[in-house]
Structure 1
């Protein structure tokens, strides 16, 4: 049956929208148009699959499933402030591939080692949390501001791209060390993530996984200082530890905290407003298709779904949808120039399951 002019315009429009980075959330086109859309997708994201090959068919099938998923994710979108999902550089990956290459499906098991007892205990009397509470009281302003963005204060380094290296735990923690150093003495330095990837012990395995609290325990137990990125450049692969015997760099204080703050996100705001940026564990599964806006739905906060680590650099209670401002480590092409916004309260994406605050000496 011949397509009507209306259908033709829709098909052409779909391809046009792709180049504008606007997600597809209308009726999925027929097979011929899907192939055209897939070819446009490959061109936009610099993909190269030979048509008719097994690899092409595999990627095309993943692409088709992505179109369905995008439509489902956008179904609850009620206004322009809500999260917007669409085609991204990850849209030709299956869910398993995306999880394997860009997330850490074993992270929740690591978190349980130092989180379960805090869920059932009086966590706010934990020594480390008590220190930060006291520290906050010394620096606290009279009224917690409605909006905090540490980027405006010049204490946030550039957005990095971890690519296929599963060391989000190292990226996000080093980023917070950088921020806390800048807050303390006004010096913003790029510190070495690769040094942590190559050298961190205490159950950490570089690009093959690790966790923030294990890393900080190792750093503080041996008084190890994190050196400069310029002296230990990022290679995004596991390597032999080349840390200098001369222990020069930034040292983390022993008072770091890794707290379970589900149901107590006001404590996160206190830390963000009066202390500084935080590192958190999170569920980033649906971020495979994230383009912008505030995530409110489709993002479980269960500890069993935690698979990634990021840095929170602020929050905005005045926005139509109050949200946290999160820096990811998937490059500036991801989300809003490397950032993602997650709704406050409700432990969306598990943002409060493990909250890490730290000081530097």
Structure 2
């Protein structure tokens, strides 16, 4: 009799635990939809998205257990991509990078006796504008190009002027430039357009729309003019470190396919190789974490993702994710 009571109690405990886990998932799902303003076409699609969300939550939970045990250098969390399959995330947020377009007029090489600061964060100098969101458009190349131009403009004029990504999206996605609009592009080609066009519009005069439209450049609304561009010596992390310290924010292109669930910390996991270099972002500094070690500080264009729109990635780690392979900044 006592054994039967114990068994019934155990069954009740297991059932209550399952109900508890179900309730937690339901609560997380409802909060996710509310926080990220998610709506779906029909019940079938919502059930599919809910299952994907559940699967991703299991991956996040498993990873974070390793993070708490000191086996990972970064943590994962829920964001606007948690209801997407990995392939959907890659296809919607990243585009094709035309590596043949990475040829600027000049190559940056650091001076031999330059003593660099231990850490750099260009936000502290007010050289970095607010985090933006590219939407469901692979226009990261335009945001990275705009970011490095804004930084150089600030360092020259001591005034931060937000520039137009949509201007680049509309006007450099056609011949003779090699950009592909929402399907990808090259920060170098974007900078070449600005040089040859004798300027780029301000963001306030040419707002971001997240799709390619007719070129509507306005000669009376120019926010910046550049005279050329400079590539940082490819694959050289030391040169990149010197460049961001000496010259300001730098456009870089990385393999970001594994950043879907990143929430914070220093990303330090092997990436997929050169075939995946198709996400351009803005390098705004570097530093050293007490636990995770040396890191790069980067501004993304995915809205309130990661560390408030920013993320950190391992530095001095064999050019992790190709961060030093395609780096460029403009000349003003």
Q: Name the TM-score class by shorter chain.
A: 0.7 to 0.9
The alpha-carbon deviation at position 41 of structure 1 amounts to 3.2
Q: Mean alpha-carbon deviation: is it higher for 180-189 or for 208-217?
A: 208-217
Counterpart selection for 2:217 from 239, 243, 259: 243
- Determine the C-alpha separation between the residues in 1 that align with 2:71 and 2:156: 38
State the distance in 1 between where 2:35 and 2:205 align: 36
Cα deviation code 1:276-312 (max 9, x no counterpart) = 1111111222221111111012x40611122211001
Match of 1:152 among 124, 136, 143: 124
In 2: Cα distance, 1:90 partner to 1:188 partner = 31
* Shift in CA distance, 223/238, structure 1 to aligned 2, threshold 3 Å: closer
Query: Which residue pairs with 1:193 in the alignment?
Result: 165
Q: Does 1:128 align with 2:118?
A: no
Task: Return the match for 1:63 from 41, 53, 58.
Answer: 53
Instruction: Give the 3-state SS of the residue equivalent to 2:123 in structure 1.
Output: helix
CA contact (8 A) 1:181 1:188 kept: yes
Residue 53 in structure 1 maps to residue 27 in structure 2? no
Partner of 2:315: 344
Q: How many residues of Structure 1 are paired with residues of Structure 2 in the alignment?
A: 316
Which has more radius of gyration? Answer: 2
Q: In the alignment, which residue of structure 2 is the partner of 1:88?
A: 79
Q: How far did residue 83 of structure 1 move?
A: 0.9
Q: 1:5 to 1:103 in 2, by over 3 A?
A: same
Deviations 1:144-202 (A, max 9, x none): 11101111111111111111122100011111100001011211101111111110141
Give RMSD over aligned pairs.
2.9
The alignment status of 1:97 with 2:88, answered yes or no, reads yes
Which secondary structure does the structure 2 equivalent of 1:152 belong to?
coil
> What residue is the counterpart of 1:206 in the other structure?
181
* Alignment partner, residue 230 of structure 2: 256
Partners of 1:218 and 1:245 in 2: how far apart?
14
- Conserved? CA contact 2:142–2:187, under 8 Å: yes
Match for residue 283 of structure 1 among 231, 255, 258 = 255
For residue 305 of structure 2, the aligned residue among 334, 341, 348 is 334
CA distance in 2 between counterparts of 1:258 and 1:219 reads 19
What corresponds to 2:146 in structure 1?
A: 174
Gaps of 5+ in 1: 13-28, 119-125
Counterparts in 2 of 1:345 and 1:73: CA distance versus 1, 3 Å: farther
**In structure 1, distance between residues paired with 2:198 and 2:265:** 39
2:167–2:217: 8 Å Cα contact kept in structure 1? Answer: yes
Q: Which of the numbers 201, 207, 210 marks the counterpart of 1:233?
A: 207
Structure 2: how far apart are the matches of 1:249 and 1:60? Answer: 44
Q: Which sits farther off after the overlay, 336-345 or 75-84?
A: 75-84
Q: Which moves more between the two structures, 63-72 or 87-96?
A: 63-72
- The structure where strand makes up a greater share of residues is 2
C-alpha displacement of 1:84: 0.6
Partner SS state of residue 236, structure 1 = coil
Q: CA deviation at 1:255?
A: 4.1
Say if 1:127 and 1:76 are closer, same or farther in 2 by CA, change over 3 A.
farther
Q: Match for residue 310 of structure 1?
A: 281
For the 8 Å contact 2:184–2:278, the answer to whether it is kept is no
> Aligned with 2:106: secondary structure?
helix
Deviation at 1:209, TM superposition (A): 1.9
Distance 1:198 1:6 in 2: 56
Deviation, structure 1 residue 75:
5.9
